[in-house]
Structure 1
């Protein structure tokens, strides 16, 4: 599955959120999907077309969206980045300094 093919419904299912008719939940996942795509683009330096050629980025998108949904409160337990997301994004990063 390509990053551009991921739907809000699929993100909800991945996050085990079954209240799919609630407008607030839909709004939250709409925001999360946009934020995840922007984060991946910024982290890797890839554009939409290039992201679609790397299907493993879809996993990073799903995991990242779940993290954002599960951790909606403003608390920080540690400063560590999810190792799965970091590994996948690092493999495709073209904007290394």
Structure 2
């Protein structure tokens, strides 16, 4: 699945979220946008290039899952998810 093809409904299924009210779906929309932006700026890829790398979809799902599970301002854990960092590092073009 291309990252541009991911829908909020895909995330509702992935996260096993039973609550489909407008507020929850709106929250997922914001999180998808934020996660896509994070991936885009972290890797330096364009939207078209991101679509060519289907493993970035997994990173998107994991990032949104983390955002949804930890909706707090403070950081309780400074560990980086190895799956996400490995996928993003593999496709990062803006290394200095």
Bin the TM-score by the shorter chain: over 0.9
Q: Which runs of 5+ in 2 are unaligned?
A: none
Q: Which runs of 5+ in 1 are unaligned?
A: none
1:30 — aligned with what?
A: 29
2:14 — aligned with what?
A: 14
Distance in 1 between residues matched to 2:92 and 2:24, nearest whole Å: 31
Normalising by structure 1, report the TM-score: 0.95
Distance in 2 between residues matched to 1:93 and 1:87, nearest whole Å: 10
Normalising by structure 2, report the TM-score: 0.96
2:53 — aligned with what?
A: 54
CA RMSD in angstroms, aligned pairs only: 0.8
Q: Aligned to 1:80, what secondary structure does the other structure show?
A: coil
Distance in 2 between residues matched to 1:78 and 1:72, nearest whole Å: 13
Q: Aligned to 2:50, what secondary structure does the other structure show?
A: helix
Distance in 2 between residues matched to 1:35 and 1:12, nearest whole Å: 17
How many pairs are equivalent? 96
Q: Cα offset for 1:75?
A: 3.1
